[in-house]
Amino acid sequence: MRIALYQCPPLPLDVAGNLQRLRETAQQADNIDLLVLPEMFLTGYNIGAQAVAELAQAHDGDAAQQIAKLAKATGMAIVYGYPERGADGHIYNSAQLIDAHGKSLCNYRKTHLFGELDHSMFSQGPNSFPVIELNGWKLGLLICYDLEFPENTRRLALAGAEVIVVPTANMVPFEFIADVTVRCRAFENHCYVAYANYCGHEGEIHYCGQSSIAAPNGKQIALAEQDETLLVATLQRQQLTDAKSGNFYLADRRPELYGELSKG
């Protein structure tokens, strides 16, 4: 499976502009199975609670319908981040996966909110970590800060995830997350991790770029710097097999010892 990560500066408050950027990027991408965009790509991330409330859309709203048409026209699946207005009236930091037929396979809501900014704009997502199938691969979704809790990637891996897709808005001074944590999560869970970040500035936030695709052996098979780019890599099933033959983290687990970890 060929995955592309679109690392770009945010375009705040401009849904139409971001949809146009997506169209241009998708049309230029060659032989891509899955295109992954950053966290809150549709509106920008650092836009404040009022703007989020004004721009939030339903998971099947106008933007989703336009992206579904684009996915079908280009023959590629798309993961994009956006502010979702749920049927319950709450606003969530969400990421949706639409397949190459224009069908929504998964709409994931961020479960671990980061800092005052996230908490001021969003409600926490529910206890839902689905693993879905795309092109014969099993995928899970997380968003940014979710990846920094090892329990999240582990539960996806135990549910069979072979690729964990992570739209993110990671900023300075947390470059080590992109450099170290992404590779660590891939290695300790025998899976690929695809981490799509912003670059450039948004208000007082300076994004660190460094989007990457980490293989199950913990090595980066694709790594961006700090500029706008389309990062592409081909995932190989043999990497999954090789990882399990020399890495026994999952086989050697002792869940009976970990019960206390889930207590508040």
Q: Judge whether 39 counts as a catalytic residue.
A: yes
Structure tokens at 40: 């809150």
173 preceded by cis ω (within 30°)? yes
- Cβ burial of 146 (10 Å; 0-12, 13-18, 19+) is buried
Residue matched to tokens 């086989």: 251
Q: Judge whether 208 counts as a catalytic residue.
A: no
Write out the E strands in the chain.
Answer: 2-7, 34-36, 77-85, 91-98, 104-109, 131-134, 137-141, 163-167, 192-196, 199-202, 205-208, 212-214, 220-223, 229-234
What are 222's strand-pairing partners? 213
Q: Among 104, 60, 58, which Cα is nearest to 85's?
A: 58
Of residues 8, 84, 106, 144, which has the active-site annotation? Answer: 144
Of residues 110, 162, 191, 208, which has the active-site annotation? Answer: 110
Of residues 39, 84, 162, 202, which has the active-site annotation? Answer: 39
Write out the E strands in 15-103.
Answer: 34-36, 77-85, 91-98
In one-letter notation, the amino acid at residue 222 is A
Q: Judge whether 110 counts as a catalytic residue.
A: yes
Residues with active-site annotation: 39, 110, 144
